[in-house]
Structure 1
Amino acid sequence: MPRHALAPVLFLLGSLALTGACSTGSSPADSAPSADNPSRTRGNGTGTQVDLSKLKGVNIVSDSSTDRSCPWATSYPDVPGAGAMTAAMKRDVEVRLAGFLGEDIGGPPSCGGADGSEGPELNVSFSFLVASGDVLGVRLTTVDRTSNADGIGTRTYWYDGAAKKYRPSPGLIADGSRDTFVSALKKGLEKREGVTPESVDAALGDREYRDSYLDDMAFTADGDLRVDFDRDTVGLPPAGRISVTLPRAIVTPWLSDFGSRAQAETTDPDDKLDLGGTRTPAPAVAAQPDPGEDTTDCSKAKCIALTFDDGPAAPETGTLLKNLAQYKARATFFVVGQNVATHPDIVRAEMKSGHEVANHSWNHPVLTNLTPAQIRSQLERTTTAIKDATGKEPTLFRPPYGAIDDEVKAATSLSPVLWDMDTLDWKTHDPAKVARTVISQAEPNDVVLIHDIHPTSVAAVPEILRTLTARGYHFVTVSHLRATL
């Protein structure tokens, strides 16, 4: 990456339409559940509208690389009281990442476990299906572009607050009704294009293994139960993803006690979640004193722009704001939309503290792998979340991994920002090394890339501020740097 570069789980198309009384299917082109698809959170598909900001104490566990040759980003929620479910998601995400990097087969790391893959990418993101009463439902969507199928996998995770237990999707069905339920699924799959009796029997015929194929089950806003199958599971690969929807009247008698409560909380949520968690939510992040108008002329003074990606994160970003305030330093936060929706209070605190808030996409995909409509969705949803939190729309965006081309530029009016110095803090997780990298390589007018989702990166900031301030550097926002050069 040239210095002074100030120049201006990914998801495929479409929503999963619900048509027909007992079953639905969709072509490969429009079959992928998507973080760009509002039906997943607004009651048109599975799940209901969940106001993430009302889920007190939620922590988004995020990680990502900045390696353009092997891009990956993962995120999942950690909700107080649902530790067993969080552990299940953590385990599954770690297994997927290890497989993508090739760490599960030993030898040198390689994307997808094989060198030379074209356009590799792993993206794991989340959406809430329901968070009401004593029921929590979350879907993880994985896009792995090195996969032999379409690369899209979905799994739903359920937590039963009454029993204080994690429930995989089959737990929505009573044990004594499992065979009847599976028979209904098989009937819904009959005469579907690309589905054969052999493929269905291979997936659902063996009681010992069939639950592993029933890993994405959720209720619609009307109480129907929708079962989604990844490509090449119950059908041949050209059939794409396949879904079966069982109407409420049919499926309700088969539900377990938990399934009945999950159905009720999905169709009539009360926006209050009580899982009996004992963890004390982190204190609210307070805005720091705004240092006021910045009169620094970067054409004459030594300026540097610290930029923090992938947040906001609790409590890391709050600690960072305090560190910056001690030196009256300004920074630019390139925020991820799904985290903004979860922590709008932190984003407000960033802006009130005198910092710049900018766009870093909704869930950190490689934008150059997306269609123009998907690019717009990624950026526009995040811009809306930022405006809802702060009252102000961003003017800048940073493409994840620095992946940008003419199509990305044409899809938005936001001005792109890359970086001059990558601290590689996601690799080292060593505060001293991160600080040394910035201090030893800093040059006037540099844009520095750090991540405020890592406690180790935040811990490096005081030394950076202390040393570079002593050397006469001024810490400014990216927009101020551009305006005064």
Structure 2
Amino acid sequence: MRTRTLATSLVLLSALSLTAACSSGSDASSGTSSADARPGAAPTASPVRSVDPSKIKGLEIVSDSSEQSSCPFAASYPDVPGAEAMTAAMKKDVEERLAGFRSGVCNGGSGGAEGRELNVSHQFLVASGDVLGVRLSTQDHSGAGSGLSTSTYWYDGKAGASRKALGLVADGSQDDFIAALKDQLKGREGIDAAALDTTFSDPASRTAALDDMAFTTSGGLRVTLDRGEVGAPAAGTYMVTFPKKMITPWLSGFGQRVQRQTMTPDRSLDLGAEHIPTPAVPTHTASGDDDTDCKKVTCIALTFDDGPAAPETATLLTSLAQYKARVTFFTVGQNVAAHPELVRAEARAGHEVGNHSWNHPDLTKLTPEQVASQLNRTSAAIKAATGKAPTLFRPPYGAVNAQVKATTTLSPVLWDVDTEDWKYRDADKVARTVIDKAQRNSVVLMHDIHPTSVAAVPEILRTLTARGYHFVTVSHLRATL
């Protein structure tokens, strides 16, 4: 599996026997307000079976993020061998959102970045047999009326084609499906009857509005409509769940296969890819505890955020081993779930593994319950991979307050030297920044999802070692000062 960054060419989220599980502003399954949903929200009752991404051979997580409060964005989506057309659709949508955010917020537009943030996270809906489904959840606070929106992307391995969500329903059954959907929405609080008719008036608008559809584990079909789609934005999102008995006759052949794979997944996924890469995992093993005394020698703590990434993290581990350097990795939970073998390799080599949240939201904008979900899910993933729970966390964008601190027993870690390597994809510039700004006991911020940052590390290690620096983990630095 491989994690890579988004394109640098950018300057730059019962079955109610025909009773809808929809409401004005609330998710009937969770009792929480969907209008208030944020990127760090605790997971609501999911309509899908849990998918273990580490079992998807050749998986790449395409990701990018900043670490600056003046330009707060984070985005990720999966790239699965064989589903290139589906990946291209996600790539296009995410890059357009990132480009708009960066030009409007990061480059001084829209009145600056205060209160604004873009977060795109992913969830696998099904990944077995010859079908693949992914939901992207986008939290966009870059302008008036913005908020949470979701879209699902589908791939039909049998046909070798990307599918829209509405493709789960047969063409000849779509009129009946739309009529039943409208019946369940009419009369609901906040629904705009005129908007309802307009939204489903023609094939193009239907496809655009019905872009989030997924099967429940019992075979029902859940339809999610974004806020403002068929009602007042303040009413939030609407959900309608059709029971299996009702929806099955309306499904396309592809929809029937997705329904079956959601209910009873196969052991593996086969989309007909001609080549599936098998990344190497370093086997470096630390030789005992670090006995460096930072009171007597000059120490520095290199830290790497947003990983693990393949092959970047593997390459980095090899460079670090050559200089017997130890560092701290602040990992993102989504990537830990996809690459547990790399997290194990980090710990095995004597490095420290810290918590950087599940999908990189600004924790200060979340409720205590949402903060706890972000950190607890990530800590659980780290412990599952390494056998040891983390003790440190780095808040995304360095944003931390009393409420965040009160929600967790993890100790927050910021930094002294910011390489801004997410902005400057230049190995020489990154290396020079660290070398020029390094001081005794500095904590340096870098990202192991960027190849250019990883490429800068050998020069950093070589030069600073010659100057007498010792590379230690954050916890070791703190303990020996």
Preserved CA contact (<8 Å) 2:364 2:399: yes
What number of residue pairs does the alignment pair up?
461
Corresponding residue of 2:9: none
1:245 aligns with 2:241: yes
Preserved CA contact (<8 Å) 2:42 2:374: no
For residues 364 and 448 of structure 2, the distance between their equivalents in structure 1, rounded to whole angstroms, comes to 25
For residues 252 and 458 of structure 2, the distance between their equivalents in structure 1, rounded to whole angstroms, comes to 53
Of the three residues 125, 148, 154, the one matched with 2:150 is 154
With over 3 angstroms needed to count, the CA separation of the structure-2 counterparts of 1:130 and 1:360, relative to structure 1, is same
1:194 aligns with 2:190: yes
DSSP 3-state at the match of 1:428? coil
For residues 117 and 130 of structure 1, the distance between their equivalents in structure 2, rounded to whole angstroms, comes to 36
1:52 aligns with 2:63: no
Corresponding residue of 2:3: none
DSSP 3-state at the match of 2:188? coil
The one-letter amino acid of 1:428's match is: Y
With over 3 angstroms needed to count, the CA separation of the structure-2 counterparts of 1:37 and 1:404, relative to structure 1, is closer
Residue by residue over 1:356-381, the C-alpha shift from the partner in whole angstroms, topping out at 9 and shown as x without a partner, is 00100000000000001111110000
Corresponding residue of 2:462: 466
Preserved CA contact (<8 Å) 1:224 1:248: yes
Corresponding residue of 2:103: 102
Preserved CA contact (<8 Å) 1:288 1:353: yes
Corresponding residue of 1:369: 365
TM-score, normalised relative to structure 2: 0.92
The one-letter amino acid of 2:47's match is: T
For residues 143 and 220 of structure 2, the distance between their equivalents in structure 1, rounded to whole angstroms, comes to 31
Of the three residues 189, 205, 211, the one matched with 1:209 is 205
DSSP 3-state at the match of 1:102? helix
Preserved CA contact (<8 Å) 1:329 1:474: yes
Residue by residue over 1:151-201, the C-alpha shift from the partner in whole angstroms, topping out at 9 and shown as x without a partner, is 101000001111111111011111122222111111111111111320101
Preserved CA contact (<8 Å) 1:18 1:45: no
Residue by residue over 1:58-112, the C-alpha shift from the partner in whole angstroms, topping out at 9 and shown as x without a partner, is 1111100112122000001111111111111111001111122236xxx9824xx
Of the three residues 18, 21, 24, the one matched with 1:24 is 21
1:84 aligns with 2:89: no
Aligned-pair distance for 1:231?
0.5
Q: 235-244 vs 454-463, which deviates more? A: 235-244
Preserved CA contact (<8 Å) 2:431 2:456: yes
The one-letter amino acid of 1:136's match is: L
For residues 258 and 70 of structure 1, the distance between their equivalents in structure 2, rounded to whole angstroms, comes to 41
1:412 aligns with 2:399: no
With over 3 angstroms needed to count, the CA separation of the structure-2 counterparts of 1:57 and 1:35, relative to structure 1, is farther
Corresponding residue of 1:65: 66
Q: 190-199 vs 447-456, which deviates more? A: 190-199
Corresponding residue of 1:93: 94
The one-letter amino acid of 1:316's match is: E
1:138 aligns with 2:138: no
Residue by residue over 1:420-461, the C-alpha shift from the partner in whole angstroms, topping out at 9 and shown as x without a partner, is 001000111000100010011111100000000011110110
The one-letter amino acid of 2:33's match is: D
Of the three residues 447, 450, 453, the one matched with 1:454 is 450
For residues 16 and 274 of structure 2, the distance between their equivalents in structure 1, rounded to whole angstroms, comes to 42
Preserved CA contact (<8 Å) 2:15 2:242: no
With over 3 angstroms needed to count, the CA separation of the structure-2 counterparts of 1:468 and 1:59, relative to structure 1, is same
1:178 aligns with 2:179: no
DSSP 3-state at the match of 1:418? coil
For residues 429 and 275 of structure 2, the distance between their equivalents in structure 1, rounded to whole angstroms, comes to 32
User: Aligned Cα RMSD in Å?
Assistant: 1.8
Preserved CA contact (<8 Å) 2:15 2:243: no
The one-letter amino acid of 1:64's match is: S
Preserved CA contact (<8 Å) 2:41 2:366: no
The one-letter amino acid of 1:360's match is: H
The one-letter amino acid of 1:21's match is: L
Aligned-pair distance for 1:468?
0.6
Aligned-pair distance for 1:21?
3.3
TM-score, normalised relative to structure 1: 0.92
Q: Which runs of 5+ in 2 are unaligned?
A: 1-12, 26-31
For residues 113 and 60 of structure 2, the distance between their equivalents in structure 1, rounded to whole angstroms, comes to 33
DSSP 3-state at the match of 2:371? helix
Aligned-pair distance for 1:254?
1.2
For residues 296 and 170 of structure 1, the distance between their equivalents in structure 2, rounded to whole angstroms, comes to 60
DSSP 3-state at the match of 2:440? coil
Preserved CA contact (<8 Å) 1:368 1:408: yes
The one-letter amino acid of 1:387's match is: K
Preserved CA contact (<8 Å) 2:64 2:74: yes
Corresponding residue of 1:8: none
For residues 456 and 412 of structure 2, the distance between their equivalents in structure 1, rounded to whole angstroms, comes to 26
Preserved CA contact (<8 Å) 2:121 2:138: yes
List aligned pairs for 1:315-464, cutoff 5 A: 315-464=311-460
Aligned-pair distance for 1:19?
5.2
DSSP 3-state at the match of 1:425? coil
Aligned-pair distance for 1:18?
6.6
Preserved CA contact (<8 Å) 2:430 2:453: yes
With over 3 angstroms needed to count, the CA separation of the structure-2 counterparts of 1:35 and 1:408, relative to structure 1, is closer
Residue by residue over 1:194-231, the C-alpha shift from the partner in whole angstroms, topping out at 9 and shown as x without a partner, is 11320101211123322100110111111111110110
DSSP 3-state at the match of 1:209? helix
Q: 267-276 vs 400-409, which deviates more? A: 267-276
Corresponding residue of 2:75: 74
DSSP 3-state at the match of 2:302? strand
DSSP 3-state at the match of 2:204? coil
With over 3 angstroms needed to count, the CA separation of the structure-2 counterparts of 1:438 and 1:34, relative to structure 1, is closer
DSSP 3-state at the match of 1:306? strand
Corresponding residue of 2:227: 231
The one-letter amino acid of 1:245's match is: T
